[in-house]
Amino acid sequence: MTTTNTLAQPWSPAQKVGFRFALLFFILFILCDPNGAVPLLSNYEGVYMAPVQKLVVWMGTHVFHLTKPITAFTNGSGDTTYNWIVLLLIFIKSVVGAAIWSLIDTKPKSYDRLYYWLLVVLRFYVGFTMLGYGGYKVIKLQFPAPGPARLLESYGDSSPMGLAWTFMGYSKAYNYFTGIAELTCGILLLFRRTTLFGAVIAFTVIANIVAINYCFDVPVKIVSSALLLMVIFILLKDLNRIIKFFFLNQTAEPAVLTPRRFQKRWKNISLTVTKYLLIAYTVFSIGGNVISNMKYGDDAKHPVLYGLFNTQTFIQGKDTLPPLTTDTTRWKRISINSFGSVRITTMNDSTRNYSFKADSVKKQIIIGSFKDTTRKYTFAYTLSKDSILNMTGKGPNGDMSATLKRFDEKKFLLMRRGFHLINESPFNK
């Protein structure tokens, strides 16, 4: 293989030690969290991470003396105790590995070849990740529009993450904007000649993601921070050129974009074919997932009885309950949401969430407890043309019947305000 020095001079000891640590840290992180960006690797992650899980559980009990054993592993949160301990293990292994490597490998003047290939790995990992993120934003799956329950929830009662999700979910155009930015930097990072431009865009995009995750307590802090570190590492290659161009008003020399080549032609052809097959496979895989999940986005068909219903009359047993604000039994309203859930709000404004399924043929509603799947409540229902919902059956507190009137959520100011190019005065309510 021919050599094209990324650094004109031999590397300093600090550069070599720092590179050894970075290579070990990034590779271990990618192995422990493929994030869907490494084709096929996610299929085997559970196999080779099983011993790590056992080690982390043991460390939680015997090293960190946690009051409760670690039972939450990889789930919707990427910042579990398990994830943080795995990150600590990666860091320790990288430090120890870099130290041992430095002691036994003192001859090389640089790691130019390894540096080149590490950049390739990071470019593809970040690039594929951004393609996935961007694709789901374009179909507005990550940040759905605020549903009936969310529209009724006050700012003070929402979580910081819920507030961020509502902010992002409100605007379809903003989702397109952020999604296209992520898709753009993802594509640019996959090719040598556009890497710098892609990394600059990726730095801006991912820095904003990191800021939202930390400032709104979104549990993807570890992965987003790692992505940002990877982009910074990619940009370090062109740091001198960036400083000259943006800060010193000096001419920046052209970047060295010569790819690594083998001496035998068939190897170079194989490498090129493998590269484009990898890109094609990943792009089609991500694209297939995005297309198959479009049915869950904002344009998805709402379930039967979707919407917000305010209670008009409520009968518990044989008693018609008046709308007293201290009543913890009488329903004030129900919010039937997407993805099979309903939120019941009682007169004292306490809420309870249940699973929800409506059969429009049998005219039947089944409400169930999320914690105890054996607890289910069945109601017969009718829905009139003027959106009056009648429910009769056995609820959590026994036999009951209720008459409810649908409320059009488009009447909420948030949903009807819309876009105004001209504003004679600020409308900030």
Please give the full DSSP string across 6-31, using - where no structure is assigned.
Answer: SSSSPPPHHHHHHHHHHHHHHHHHHH
Which pLDDT score, from 0 to 100, does residue 1 have?
37
In the beta sheet, which residues pair with residue 379? 365, 393
The Cα–Cα gap between 260 and 267 comes to 11
The Cα–Cα gap between 415 and 157 comes to 20
CA 412 to chain centre: 28
Is there a contact between 268 and 61 (Cβ–Cβ < 8 Å)? no
Selection from 180, 39, 188 nearest residue 127 by Cα: 188
- In the chain, ranges of CATH 2.40.128.270 domains: 307-413
Coil/strand/helix, residue 184: helix
Q: What is the CATH number of domain 307-413?
A: 2.40.128.270
pLDDT at 346 over 90: yes
**Letter for the amino acid at 243?**
I
Which pLDDT score, from 0 to 100, does residue 324 have?
94
The Cα–Cα gap between 43 and 29 comes to 16
Is there a contact between 127 and 198 (Cβ–Cβ < 8 Å)? yes
Phi, psi of 380 (to 5 degrees): -90, 145
Selection from 381, 33, 422, 44 nearest residue 222 by Cα: 33
Which pLDDT score, from 0 to 100, does residue 364 have?
94
pLDDT at 285 over 50: yes
Which pLDDT score, from 0 to 100, does residue 7 have?
44
The Cα–Cα gap between 185 and 180 comes to 9
pLDDT at 5 over 70: no
Selection from 43, 69, 68 nearest residue 56 by Cα: 69
Tokens of 365: 């509603």
Selection from 345, 285, 267 nearest residue 311 by Cα: 345
pLDDT at 207 over 90: yes
Is there a contact between 21 and 95 (Cβ–Cβ < 8 Å)? yes
Tokens of 334: 């129900």
pLDDT at 369 over 60: yes
Which pLDDT score, from 0 to 100, does residue 4 have?
42
Least confident window among 113-122, 263-272, 379-388: 263-272
Selection from 115, 120, 50 nearest residue 86 by Cα: 50
Mean pLDDT value of segment 355-368? 92
Q: What pLDDT band is residue 166 in, cutting at 50, 70 and 90?
A: very high
Q: What is the mean pLDDT of the chain?
A: 90
Coil/strand/helix, residue 175: helix
Is there a contact between 140 and 175 (Cβ–Cβ < 8 Å)? yes
Cα dihedral angle (67, 69, 73, 75), rounded to 10 degrees? -60
Is there a contact between 73 and 79 (Cβ–Cβ < 8 Å)? no
The Cα–Cα gap between 198 and 184 comes to 7
% of the chain with per-residue pLDDT over 90: 62
pLDDT tens by residue, 173-182: 999 999 999 9
Selection from 251, 229, 231, 230 nearest residue 241 by Cα: 251
Mean pLDDT value of segment 41-48? 84
Mean pLDDT value of segment 45-67? 92
Mean pLDDT value of segment 153-182? 93
pTM value is 0.87
Tell me how long the chain is: 429
Q: Are strands 341-346 and 307-316 parallel, antiparallel or unpaired?
A: unpaired
Find the farthest-apart pair of alpha carbons in the chain and give their distance in angstroms, rounded.
90
In the block, tokens 């005065």 appear at 425
Q: Residues near 298 by Cβ (< 8 Å), separated by ≥ 6? A: 140, 144, 145, 172
Mean pLDDT value of segment 22-46? 88
Q: What pLDDT band is residue 216 in, cutting at 50, 70 and 90?
A: very high
In the block, tokens 């430095």 appear at 102
Return the HEC string of 352-381.
Answer: EEEEEEEECCCCEEEEECCCCCCCEEEEEE
Selection from 326, 334, 330 nearest residue 317 by Cα: 330
Tokens of 298: 């904002």
The Cα–Cα gap between 300 and 338 comes to 9
Tokens of 237: 């290659």
